[in-house]
């Protein structure tokens, strides 16, 4: 089962502002040296952000949960999940929205954000009834 990632308003603003900086750098190119190098770095960063935007999801197959954000992929055995907690903590994580689920497994945790957090929690709980939901 696949759960599409949720993108928050802050993420949309980030993409818009970043692309406005690219447009501004093209318009103002005569005012600074190194325009081409700067533009290359900005476009490379933009490609990275766009990949993050379109390649963010959580997938559950058999008893394994795979969290994908851009080029990063994390596999978690569903039996190792200890607890799930809905949160809005704005720390660095694998989520493009502040509407997140903290997944505690083993001695680690990961934050994910999907369009239907309740369905993800229910499906994980069905796979592993020992998961505590906070």
Domain assignment of residue 100, given as a range: 1-134
Q: How many domains does the chain have?
A: 1
Residues contacting 13, CB < 8 A, separation 6+: none
Residue 86 dihedral angles phi and psi, to the nearest 5°? -70, 135
Mean pLDDT of 97-115: 94
Residues contacting 121, CB < 8 A, separation 6+: 84, 86, 101, 133
The pLDDT value given to residue 91? 77
Tokens 């802050």: give the residue: 10
The pLDDT value given to residue 89? 83
Count, in order, helices (H) and strands (E) of the chain. 3, 8
Q: How confident is the model at residue 32 (pLDDT cuts 50, 70, 90)?
A: low
Q: Going edge to edge, which strands form the sheet with 100-105?
A: 108-112, 100-105, 81-87, 132-133
Q: How confident is the model at residue 27 (pLDDT cuts 50, 70, 90)?
A: confident
Higher local confidence (pLDDT), 49 or 38: 49
Q: Residues of the chain with pLDDT > 70: what percent?
A: 96
The pLDDT value given to residue 39? 81
Q: What is the CATH number of the domain that holds 45?
A: 2.30.29.30
Q: Tens digits of per-residue pLDDT, 40-98?
A: 888 898 899 899 889 999 999 999 999 999 999 999 999 999 999 999 988 777 788 99
For residue 75, give the nearest of 116, 49, 103 by alpha carbon: 103
Integer Cα distance of 100 and 122 in angstroms: 15
């Amino acid at each position: 089962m696949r759960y599409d990632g949720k993108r928050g308003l802050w993420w949309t603003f980030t993409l818009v502002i970043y692309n406005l900086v690219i447009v501004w750098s093209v318009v103002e190119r005569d005012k600074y040296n190194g325009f081409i190098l700067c533009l290359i770095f900005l476009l490379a960063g933009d490609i990275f952000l766009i990949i993050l935007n379109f390649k963010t999801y959580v997938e559950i197959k058999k008893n394994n949960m795979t969290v994908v954000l851009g080029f990063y992929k994390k596999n978690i055995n569903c039996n190792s999940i200890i607890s799930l907690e809905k949160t809005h903590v704005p720390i660095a994580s694998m989520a493009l929205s502040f509407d997140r689920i903290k997944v505690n497994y083993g001695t680690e945790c990961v934050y994910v954000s999907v369009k239907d957090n309740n369905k993800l929690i229910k499906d994980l709980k069905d796979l592993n009834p020992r998961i505590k939901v906070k």
